[in-house]
Structure 1
Amino acid sequence: MGKNVSSETMSVTPGISRRSLVKGAAWAAPAIVAAAYAPLAAASTTTVPPTPVFHFASACKNPGNSSTGCTGRPMQSYQVRVTVTNTTAETQILRFTGFRADTTNAGVAAVHTYSASAAGQCAAALPRTTACGTPGGIELAPGATLDAWIVSGSAGSSGAGLLHVDWSWHAKSTCATTSSGTSSGSPSGLSCPSR
């Protein structure tokens, strides 16, 4: 009878068993594959800007004939603060395309800079570009942050239980929509800060 030789003891090269060679190759393969993908992951950039953050808990109303809220605001309008940073590598245009108080479509009347140093009062109205359509949007360069009040048109005299703001991001170079949505929340029920 011939001699039995097991695969565990048969050597491929002196000092290295076939089992050791297979184990080593199995552990090395994932490392080689992972190393091949690492440069691709490092080179990728965000192409979709983040969802704007609307601060509905501090949203306020500009009542009838009072002198609260942003300069030039419509009477009986609402204001909600929004913050967002353009995290993409290209200039984006953020458009606010609708503002509803409950079911009343009040539209967007203005966008004003939020003034943290003046207890949340409005600063200057921001220029809006119509490069990617109307209503005009706010142009944000890569890394730029927007901290502003979105002011609705007149929403009537009764208080709203829910505010809704429609928004969309557009790549400035092509005007292609990169993301869009509707953000909703309950307002504070307070009058807007005096200017």
Structure 2
Amino acid sequence: MSENTHGSNDGISRRTVTKAMAWAGPAIAVAATVPIAAASIVVPPPPVFNWGSGFKNPGASCKLACVAKQSYTTPVTVSNPSLEDYIIVFTSYAAGTNAVGINSLYTGECSPVSSTCSSTCTLPPGAKAVCVPAGTTSMTFFVSSGSLGSSPQGTQDVAWEWRRADDCSVADSGVAHSETSPPGSC
């Protein structure tokens, strides 16, 4: 029996059109869900460094145990509007052309930054990190550099990465830059 029951033999039969429509429905439904799933992936925005409220520790003036002598400290604010936990990782701190590393992340009087999420990610050597729970609107803490041996005025650069807490993949990264050292002293 021929599938082409009406018209000439070089056209498309109703049966072929019906089969195509039956297969097209699920394909269109699947294609329609892909943009919705892709749109739900949200990477947290870059951290905000408040260089103007930072300080330097020129030597013996700072008595905080979590702040190295001849170092720099600046407050950082992060948020995580996504539906998954992320880790903010600080990988390096440079004062001028000198790599001084990250000494500590803390709040208040050297209190560790607390978080309701965790991760088992392996960090690069010398890096410090904080897990930022999904839905966090604002979390502020201090990033303190390692010791330079002196604390001259100069540029500041802090490299950071957002990593997914579940698989440790890097979702975003950057370098925060200030043309001057933090203005205050500890």
Number of residues of Structure 1 aligned to a counterpart in Structure 2: 149
* 1:82 maps to 2:76: yes
CA pair 81-63 structure 1, distance change in 2 beyond 3 A: same
Q: Which position in structure 1 is the counterpart of 2:59? A: 64
Task: Give me the whole-angstrom Cα distance separating, in 2, the residues matched to 1:52 and 1:76.
Answer: 24
Shift of residue 45 of structure 1?
2.5
Give 2:95's match in structure 1, choosing from 73, 87, 101.
101
* 1:47 maps to 2:42: yes
Task: Give me the whole-angstrom Cα distance separating, in 1, the residues matched to 2:113 and 2:48.
Answer: 18
Is the contact made by 2:89 and 2:161 (CA closer than 8 Å) also made in structure 1? yes
Identity of aligned residues (%): 32
Give 1:168's match in structure 2, choosing from 143, 153, 161.
161
* Pairwise CA RMSD: 2.7
Task: Give me the whole-angstrom Cα distance separating, in 1, the residues matched to 2:87 and 2:110.
Answer: 21
Return the letter of the residue paired with 1:180: S
- Match of 1:97, SS? strand
- Match of 1:57, SS? helix
Q: Which whole-Å deviations, capped at 9, do the CAs of 1:15-35 have from their partners, x for residues lacking one?
A: xxxxxxxxxxxxxxxxxxxxx
Using the size of structure 2 for normalisation, the TM-score is: 0.70
Is the contact made by 2:73 and 2:143 (CA closer than 8 Å) also made in structure 1? yes
Q: Which whole-Å deviations, capped at 9, do the CAs of 1:72-103 have from their partners, x for residues lacking one?
A: 32111100110011111100011000011111
Q: Which position in structure 2 is the counterpart of 1:140? A: 132
Choose 1 or 2 for highest CA Rg. Answer: 1
Task: Give me the whole-angstrom Cα distance separating, in 2, the residues matched to 1:171 and 1:42.
Answer: 17
Return the letter of the residue paired with 2:113: L
Moved more, 43-52 or 170-179: 43-52
CA pair 99-140 structure 1, distance change in 2 beyond 3 A: same
- Match of 1:148, SS? strand
Using the size of structure 1 for normalisation, the TM-score is: 0.67
Return the letter of the residue paired with 2:155: L
Shift of residue 174 of structure 1?
1.1
Task: Give me the whole-angstrom Cα distance separating, in 1, the residues matched to 2:119 and 2:143.
Answer: 17
Is the contact made by 1:130 and 1:137 (CA closer than 8 Å) also made in structure 2? no
